Amino acid sequence: MSPLAGGRLQPAAAPVAPEKEVTIYIGGVHVSPGPAVIKTLLGSCISVCLFDPIRRVGGMNHFMLPRGAGSSGADADATRFGVHAMDCLIGDMMKLGADRRRLVAKFFGGAHVLNMKESAAAVPQQNIAFIREFLKGEGFPILAEDVGGYHPRHVRFYSHTARAMVKRVDGPHARARLLSQEDHRSAQVPSFGDVTLFDQ
Amino acid sequence: MPSTILIVDDSRTVRTMVRQALEADHHQVIEATDGVAALAALDMGPADLVITDVNMPEMDGLKLVRALRDRPGYRFTPILVLTTESGDEIKQRGREAGATGWLVKPFNPDQLRKTVEHVSRRRQP
């Protein structure tokens, strides 16, 4: 539009800095101190996007519970690693000034990309059940969710507005990439943190 | 020997996981959501050991450790920091604040129990 459109002098629009784009993968966490678009590709994994509307700080993680969730004896350990993924995201946001009492959540993923029938014992359903229970237990309001189904998802999260865009994708390329990532990751034995005792 | 243990963490889920691990050894567990709430809880009754997160609202874990070391009766109380923070620099700050030990999440419940037992035994008045 011309600056003289409408017969009146219009101020020139201020140049808008391009938003930084960051892609995260399984096990990743990103919290941005400035405007950013955080992107990820999800299959059976879950991504949680948290946002503090006062400080306008947002972040995203991408995790899957280790294989074994839902089988006897393995639930507690699997849950522990899901809690850790959330703890890292929340902690990183607090370091940028967010207050956990104001955090709101959106979450995505948990697709059955293997085209197997959905069941409560399957990894995607375990991931979905875990995050619902966690967010409810911690009292984070859920603004939006898009979970389940059979298609991978591309998620774009705008860290300074909490806007999230989800695109369901398919095709052999995306599916093969996801299956390779997720199968490798779920078979890994997660490690616990270390212990340091100080001399007093 | 069973003790009274104060767990300080702003995550209800984490507090529950720590409680379950410690109650298996018959410890009595009390909970607080941040440093300010922890000090208020200790005004109501003493604890033999404190386990605290670092990143919390109101008063963070390292400030809590310093506040406790300034309190009569808590100079030698074991204080374990249980956190996602694993950097050497922040661990050193924890040590200087007076922490007894540093456990990085995700924690192994058996290791937590053994660490609690170990630091409880070596407590010196």
Q: How many CB pairs under 8 A join A and B?
A: 82
Active site residue A45: yes
Residue B44: the pLDDT is: 94
Q: Which amino acid is at B19?
A: R
Question: Using an 8 Å Cβ cutoff, are A65 and A79 in contact?
Answer: yes
Residues 40-79 of chain B with CB under 8 A from chain A are: 54-57
| CB pair distance less than 8 Å for A80 and B86 | no
Dihedral of the alpha carbons of B114, B110, A130, A132, in degrees to the nearest 10: -20
Domains of chain B, residue spans: 4-120
Q: Which pLDDT score, from 0 to 100, does residue A1 have? A: 41
Whether residue B14 lies within 8 A of chain A, CB to CB, comes out as yes
**pLDDT by 10-residue block (mean), chain A, 200 residues:** 49 65 92 93 94 96 71 60 90 93 96 72 87 95 95 94 93 73 61 86
- Kindly state whether residue A148 falls inside one of the protein's structural domains: yes
Q: What angle do CA A118, A121, A124 make, to 5 degrees?
A: 60
Strand ranges for A63-200 from DSSP E: 104-109, 142-147, 153-158, 164-168, 195-197
Q: What's the rounded Cα separation, in Å, for the pair A65 and A128? A: 10
pLDDT given at position A200: 61
**More reliable by pLDDT, A2 or B85:** B85
Look at residue A183 in the predicted model and tell me its pLDDT.
64
Q: Which residue range is the domain that position A95 belongs to?
A: 18-185
pLDDT for A18: 60
Q: What percent of chain B has pLDDT over 90?
A: 90
B88: left (phi over 0), alpha (psi -120 to 50) or beta: alpha
- The number of folded domains in chain A is 1
**pLDDT confidence of B13, banded at 50, 70, 90?**
very high
Q: Which candidate in A50, A83, A96, A195 is best for mutational testing of the B interface (most B CBs within 10 A)?
A: A195
Residue A41 domain-assigned (yes or no) = yes
Query: Residue B7: pLDDT band by 50, 70, 90 thresholds?
Result: very high
Q: What is the pLDDT of residues A98-139, one digit of tens each?
A: 999 999 999 999 998 876 666 667 888 989 999 999 999 999
CB-CB under 8 Å, B55 with A94: yes
pLDDT for position A69 = 46
Question: What pLDDT, on a 0 to 100 scale, did the predictor assign at position A136?
Answer: 96
The ipTM estimated for the assembled molecules is: 0.88
Measure CB to CB from residue B101 to each of A79, A84, A197 and give the nearest one: A197
Chain-chain contact of A80 with B17 (C-beta, under 8 angstroms): yes
Q: pLDDT tens digit string along B54-80?
A: 999 889 999 999 999 999 999 999 999
**More confident of the two residues B82 and A173:** B82
Residue A9 domain-assigned? no
pLDDT at B15: 96
CATH number at residue A161: 3.30.1330.200
pLDDT interval class at B53 (50, 70, 90): very high
Q: Is residue A13 part of a domain?
A: no
| Tens digit of each residue's pLDDT (9 = 90 or more) over A51-60 | 999 999 999 9
B87 touches chain A (CB under 8 A): no
Compare A9 and B114 and report the one with higher pLDDT: B114
Q: Is residue A3 part of a domain?
A: no
What residue type is assigned to position A118 of the chain?
A: E
By the CB < 8 Å criterion, does B103 face chain A? Answer: yes
- B108 and A137 in contact by Cβ < 8 A? no
**Superfamily of segment(s) B4-120:** Response regulator (3.40.50.2300)
Cβ(A26)–Cβ(A185) under 8 Å?
A: yes
Q: What is the mean pLDDT of residues B40-53?
A: 96
Is A4 part of any domain? no
Catalytic residue from among A29, A37, A38, A45: A45
Asked whether residue A191 is assigned to any structural domain, the reply reads no
pLDDT of B6 reads 98
Quick check: B95 and A198 CB within 8 A?
yes
Tell me if A33 is assigned to some domain.
Answer: yes
- Interface residue ranges in chain A relative to chain B, Cβ cutoff 8 Å: 76, 79-81, 83-84, 86-88, 90-91, 94-95, 99-101, 134, 137-139, 190, 192-198, 200
